[in-house]
């Protein structure tokens, strides 16, 4: 019994931990540096808006994205909805359609699939 206890004391029970902190300042700098690379086009057809989001080939070497539609506020959203990505030509894109009567303040958030990178956010302007 003592021998087992001594062996357990000698075994290294290591633990790896990592954390990621993205400040508001880092997020704003990242957004101002890369937001022009994401384009949002809106088209009114009958009583619906079709919104198309075009993504760049890569942002800071990352070419894998997640795209989210957020309603009302980035801090306290009414809803968050993931958008599917598709390829058209060599362009990565996402889209959604909304009734003109349901238009409110919306944001498109583009997250890199690097868990520690800030996200890009752009407001959708329905015109």
pLDDT at 122 over 90: yes
Residue 20 inside a domain? The answer is no
Q: pLDDT exceeding 90 applies to what percent of the chain?
A: 50
The CATH number of the domain holding residue 72 is 2.60.40.10
Residue 70 inside a domain? The answer is yes
Number of domains in the chain: 1
Contact 105, 115 (CB under 8 A): no
Residue 49 inside a domain? The answer is yes
Residue 3 inside a domain? The answer is no
Residue 33 inside a domain? The answer is yes
Distance between CA atoms of residues 48 and 101, nearest Å = 8
pLDDT at 42: 96
Q: What is the bridge-based pairing of β-strands 39-45 and 48-55?
A: antiparallel
Question: Sheet holding 39-45: strands in order across?
Answer: 39-45, 48-55, 91-99, 86-88
Range of the domain at 69: 25-124
Residue 4 inside a domain? The answer is no
Give tens-digit pLDDT for 40-62: 999 999 999 999 999 988 888 87
Q: pTM score > 0.75 for this model?
A: yes
| DSSP collapsed to 3 states, 107-125 | EEEEEECCCCCCCEEEEEC
Residue 2 inside a domain? The answer is no
């Amino acid at each position: 019994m003592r021998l087992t206890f001594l062996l357990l004391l000698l075994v290294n029970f290591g633990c790896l931990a990592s954390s990621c902190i993205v400040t508001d300042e880092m997020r704003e700098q990242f957004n101002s540096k890369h937001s022009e690379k994401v384009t949002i086009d809106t088209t009114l057809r009958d009583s619906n808006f079709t919104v198309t989001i075009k993504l760049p080939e890569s942002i800071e070497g990352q070419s894998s994205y997640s795209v989210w539609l957020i309603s009302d506020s980035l801090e306290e959203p009414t809803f968050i909805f993931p958008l599917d990505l598709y390829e058209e030509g060599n362009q990565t894109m996402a889209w959604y359609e909304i009734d003109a009567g349901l238009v409110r303040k919306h944001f498109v958030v583009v997250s890199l699939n690097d868990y520690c990178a800030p996200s890009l956010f752009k407001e959708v302007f329905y015109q």
